[in-house]
Each structure stands twice: as structure tokens, then as C-alpha cells.
Amino acid sequence: MTQLKEASRSSPVEFECINEKKRQKKKGYKNSGVVSVKQCEITVECTFLDYIMGGCQLNFTVGVDFTSSSGDLLFPDSLHYISPNGVNEYLTAIWSVGVVVQDYDADKMFPAFGFGAQIPPQWQVSHEFPMNFSPSNPYCKGIQGIVEAYRACLPQIKLYGPTNFSPIINHVARFAAAATQQQTASQYFVLLIITDGVITDLDETRQAIVNAAKLPMSIIIVGVGGADFSAMEFLDSDSGALRSPSGEVANRDIVQFVPFRQFQNAPKEALAQCVLAEIP
């Protein structure tokens, strides 16, 4: 390895290609060719654990879809309907995914926002309101705190629409951009979006993601229910780089889509592997 690092055009490192069978059969056999290395660059690709062990602080933010596409929360067929045993698919997703990510956040204080609902007192639609209705302190203590904020929030709002992702993405991106101004690159931001519907502001969201790809930030989208999630898979862009409406290519893939129903009966390790697949 040391030899390879020292290779240059003026002083290449050479290796003979030896075919042992030919060498044994032919007396005058020297080699089957020579590999000449004139430049070698060795790059270490850090893993998720390397970043954590190196002191990187992960900051998780949760965004919950409160649009009317989930159905009237008073009826059992709504994804926001809380059953007699105190659960619904949103709560199950919050718990299941939350326990995966919470141990990577040192202070376990999570900003939690809702989007797509009419909120008091003016009853205007908001796409980034704190679920605890405290704009100056939107933090929830642990996953239990998010669950409590969600339960308290539901009866105070009106599910509405549309399903816009870009405001909450841009919200977290502003904090990620501010972190890049620090002398030590020790902050990484993860936005967890839990949604049930078809995205409305696809073009704006594409632009927001392309912009966020330049920042220390990742996005996990968890789809609950059985809606058409093809747009989410498009944003995940595993089959090709995501482009903004103007054609700008995202310089890395920062979106991971998780269809939650596919993992409800799967081992916890399978869900964890999928959730953390593209962080950072």
C-alpha cells in the first residue's frame, strides 16, 4: 500500500503479472505483462458508525402529515383514528422508527412538527407548525414526548391539505446550513417525515432536496397506509440521480423511503437497516 501511494508519472510502481502454470511449463517464461501504476489515490469511505464514534452529533426532526387524505379521524378507517387500545398506524410508525433513531441523538430532544392542517386560532393551513404549539420550543423529550405531543395535537387541529413537503425540508435545511458555518463539522441533521398521501408540491420538494443535498442532512420518508407512494420512490432516486425542475442534479442521494406496512411484521433489524440505509 505504501508503494502505491508513492507512485507517480516520473516514478511509476510496477507489478509483474505471473501465470504460475505457464512459469512451470516454460523455461524462458518471464511474465504475462506488467501493471504500471503512475498515480494512486486511496480514499477511506467512513461508515455511519465512524461518524458517531468520531463525535458527530445527529439531530433528528420529525414531521407528521396531518392532511385530510388519511380520512376523518373520528372514523376507524382513518389512519389518524386512535383505536380503543390507544394506537393507530401513525403512532405505530413513530414508535417503531423512533426507537431506531433515538439512541443516535445524544440529548434525545426532538423538534416535532405537523403539516397540512388548519391550526388555531386563525384556522389557516400550516405546513410547519410545532406539534406542541410552542414555536420558541418545539422540542419533545424522547419518542414518548413526540407521542404525547401527537395525541394532544390531534383534537386541536383540522385535517386539511395539501400535502407539501418543501416547507419542512427547507426548515431543517436552514439549521443544517447554519451548522456548516461552525469551525467543526460535528452536526448532522436528519428529517423524518411520516406521511400517508400523494405529495402535492413535487417540483418544490425536488428543488428543496437538491439544495439540501449540499448540506449535512438526510431525509427519511416513512409511508403509512396503502396510498400510491410512487412519488416517494421517485424522490428516493435509487434508480438514478434526482434532478431539480431546472435540471440541477443532486450531488448525493439523501432520501430514504420506507413503506412501513412492508415492515410491520418484519424483524426490527430489517426496519432499522432500511431506515438507516442512507444516513449519512
Please give the pLDDT value at position 154.
96
| Distant-in-sequence, close-in-space partners of 252: CB < 8 Å, separation ≥ 6 | 213
DSSP letters spanning 78-117: STTPPPTTS--HHHHHHHHHHHHHGGGSSS-EEEEEEESE
- pTM, two decimals, is 0.83
| Region(s) of the chain under CATH 3.40.50.410 | 48-275
Please give the pLDDT value at position 140.
97
Q: What CATH superfamily classification does 48-275 receive?
A: von Willebrand factor, type A domain (3.40.50.410)
Sole residue written with cell 507512485: 7
Q: Are 112 and 132 in contact (CB under 8 A)?
A: yes
Please give the pLDDT value at position 61.
96
Backbone φ and ψ of 248, nearest 5°: -70, 135
Please give the pLDDT value at position 276.
80
Collapsed DSSP state (helix, strand, coil) of residue 149: helix
Please give the pLDDT value at position 40.
83
75's grid cell: 372514523
Residue pLDDT tens, the chain, 280 long: 677 777 777 888 888 898 988 888 888 898 889 998 888 888 888 777 787 788 888 899 999 999 998 888 889 989 999 999 989 999 999 998 888 888 888 889 999 999 999 999 999 999 999 999 999 999 999 999 999 999 999 999 999 999 999 999 999 999 999 999 887 768 899 999 999 978 999 999 999 999 999 999 999 999 998 888 888 888 988 778 899 999 999 999 999 999 988 888 888 788 888 888 877 6
Please give the pLDDT value at position 185.
65
